[in-house]
Structure 1
């Protein structure tokens, strides 16, 4: 895998909607004054924020009480339930990084043959399989080294296509002339592109860690801004990552390095105890995993 140079601007590009979602607190509200402060720090205009709030209100996802920066935004359950990290997958990433989830050599395959009359469902199942880390072996046949059957079953049930799926596992996978699992992984997944995303995350996280460990104490709005930037960059790097086991990846793997720096950032943020009660619910989801990782790392062998 070729090493790629990653240029990272000091400012992390974040869609306005993602910012609004990131600012939802545990009580399903958003403090507009904090929202506008963080938006300004990220280079967004007040007009951008107002338009996004209006869009979400028109969708019935937000109710605004008050005006401008003094407003309180009440967030509907549909939006609250749709945001935040998938804690189960984040935990699995860190388990892989510390060697607690070794690969057993089993490949998991799923094939589908959904009729043309249900093209929408066919596209949906393909997209769902790819989002679970699957790679196409050939038309309609996808593979993953991870045990994904419960997620495949949930996807098939939701789309009502279980009758069109075939599942199997094997320890003897050959793709073309490739037999080595590591060679197969390099062929099926765009590892260079995935690695570049993690290299960017590592650089972004390191610059934020330098700020968090600087003797100059950051203000609450500055720390909120760092939190949102880290979460957005982590999502950007993680979404295309199939979470291949270390046994199939070039070493050292940038994802492992990036997540270590990210955990250090989250640990620094968690030390701001006086602010934790007011921080977004998204932060607490990440913090729960980092606490577990830290506890495992500190435990005696």
Structure 2
């Protein structure tokens, strides 16, 4: 059973995230429904109007009509950038189920990119960090996961493949620390990562209570809050294997609680047209064991 968490979850859903989460399968957003869900989340109509105005000005959406009768149409660029990377979502749940054991190898990437290619260097560094890499020293990063294909893809994308080196080792010492779990504590901010998962668990536990008998607008607001908090918790998570984490690890309990909530959200009488539900539906169905029911 997941431990009860009473931590405050005061992270508001950004208005932009709300709009993107309301995207339907045909890449449109119903403004009336958007305003209803926004109000449920405590947002004012003015906040929503200003956000829509910005998104239209940025060329991310096209607006047909006015006010609550309007329809927002996402541009191809938006549709290609807001979908979550479900491969990594599947991987983290596989770790939680003990289906992705660590083989004891550290995966290392090194790159030396001069000031003349500063933008490419910064982009490469950001990509490696997003993949969970921990900086060891200048231009040298490490992960316990098999990240080479993703590192190579990033290097190709930024035009620096000829300046990137990868290797694996079972013999890693950093600052005199060699034991694997101790290394993880040195290399990654585990306390901060755990705090994010505590907030996620608190959000999921509150959502589970509020879902009982909730109207559709409330259910949608719960789904959007849950997805936003899930993203906040997992984006900085390097997805370390259980062997490198304190046990019991709060992330496992948090993700299990999220899966339970999504299982409930997916049990509606009618298929939910929002893409948000399709994005998470298949993965959560696998985790919750409801696939094919």
Same fold by TM (over 0.5)? Answer: yes
Does the 8 A contact of 1:109 with 1:144 survive in 2? yes
1:277 aligned residue: 272
Deviation digits for residues 124-145 of structure 1, max 9, x if unmatched?
1111100000001111100000
Q: What is the root-mean-square deviation of aligned Cα atoms in Å? A: 1.6
Q: Are positions 1:182 and 2:181 aligned together?
A: yes
1:60 aligned residue: 59
Q: Are positions 1:20 and 2:25 aligned together?
A: no
| TM-score, normalisation: structure 1 | 0.92
Deviation digits for residues 142-175 of structure 1, max 9, x if unmatched?
0000000010011000000011111110011111
| Counterpart pick for 2:214 among 218, 223, 242 | 218
Matched ranges for 1:23-172 at <5 A = 23-172=22-171
Deviation digits for residues 172-221 of structure 1, max 9, x if unmatched?
11112111100000000000000000011001100101122x3xx11110
1:8 aligned residue: 8
| Counterpart pick for 2:280 among 279, 286, 293 | 286
Distance 2:217 2:157 in 1: 41
Q: Are positions 1:262 and 2:258 aligned together?
A: yes
Does the 8 A contact of 1:6 with 1:196 survive in 2? no
SS at 1:273 equivalent: coil
What is the aligned length? 288
Greater Cα shift, 63-72 or 90-99: 63-72
Q: Are positions 1:237 and 2:233 aligned together?
A: yes
Does the 8 A contact of 1:110 with 1:168 survive in 2? yes
Misfit runs of 4+, over 4 Å: none
